[in-house]
């Protein structure tokens, strides 16, 4: 095989792999912590928590939910509002290198108004307390509590009918 042909073959192989990667729909968690659930319901049991920026591969979709597989091979359901699609950039032919995956972009999601800015804001406004803001965030309704509340109240799929 000539040198030119070997080079072309190698690049073709690389491009094929990249295109294949493009076709597989990768999704990225865009919320702080997303529950990967056993079923496509908000009160379903949690399999694992995924962090902002983590990538998953979409397997199928159902009514606003995605069945996905994590990098570790765990399958479960994520709601579509917890994830975003990102184009995977091919390595550019330019001198600058674009991010090869957008996990970094998502991880930098709060690159604008972020913890650093909040810290400066607090330093300038010592009379503004964030104590109750943090207490608010600590108030949680577990999936089981939610299921029980909906069921007892005859709401959602537990509805008592019109």
Residues that bind another protein (CB under 8 A): 4, 7-12, 14-16, 30-32, 34, 42, 52, 79, 81-82, 91-93, 96-100, 104-105, 108-118, 120-121, 124-125, 127-130, 132-133, 136-137, 139-141, 145-146, 149-150, 152-156, 158-162
Minimum CB–partner distance for residue 54 and another protein (Å): 14
SS3 42: coil
Furthest CA-CA distance within the chain: 76
Nearer to another protein, 72 or 113 (CB): 113
Which ranges in 46-158 belong to alpha helices (H)? 103-107, 115-124, 131-138, 143-152
The span from the CA of 149 to the CA of 128, in Å, is 35
- Integer-rounded Cα Rg, in Å, for the chain is 22
Under DSSP, is residue 129 helix (H, G, I), strand (E, B) or coil?
A: coil
Rounded to a whole number of angstroms, the minimum distance from the CB of residue 86 to another protein is 11
Q: Which residue lies nearer to another protein by CB, 23 or 128? A: 128
* Least spacing, CB of residue 70 vs another protein, in Å: 17
Structure tokens at 133: 């803001």
CB of 92 to another protein, least distance (A): 7
156: left (phi over 0), alpha (psi -120 to 50) or beta: left
User: Where does the chain show beta strands of DSSP type E?
Assistant: 26-29, 33-37, 46-51, 55-62, 65-70, 75-79, 83-85
The nearer residue to another protein, 73 or 115, going by C-beta atoms, is: 115
- 12 or 21: whose CB is closer to another protein? 12
* Nearer residue to another protein within complex by CB, 73 or 149: 149
State the nearest-atom distance from the C-beta of 26 to another protein, in Å: 16
């Amino acid at each position: 095989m000539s040198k030119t042909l070997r080079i072309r073959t190698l690049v073709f192989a690389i491009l094929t792999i990249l295109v294949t990667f493009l076709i597989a729909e990768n999704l990225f968690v865009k919320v702080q912590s997303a529950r990967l659930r056993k079923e496509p319901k908000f009160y379903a049991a949690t399999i694992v928590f995924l962090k902002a920026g983590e990538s998953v591969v979409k397997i199928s979709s159902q009514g606003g939910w995605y069945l996905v597989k994590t990098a570790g091979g765990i399958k479960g359901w994520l709601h579509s509002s917890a994830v975003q699609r990102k184009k995977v950039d091919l390595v550019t032919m330019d001198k600058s290198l674009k991010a090869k995956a957008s996990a970094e972009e998502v991880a930098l999601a709060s690159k604008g108004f972020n913890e650093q800015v909040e810290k400066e804001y607090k330093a300038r406004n010592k009379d503004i307390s964030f104590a109750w803001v943090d207490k608010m965030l600590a108030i949680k309704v577990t999936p089981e509590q939610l299921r029980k509340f909906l069921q007892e109240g005859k709401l959602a799929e537990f509805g008592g009918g019109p």
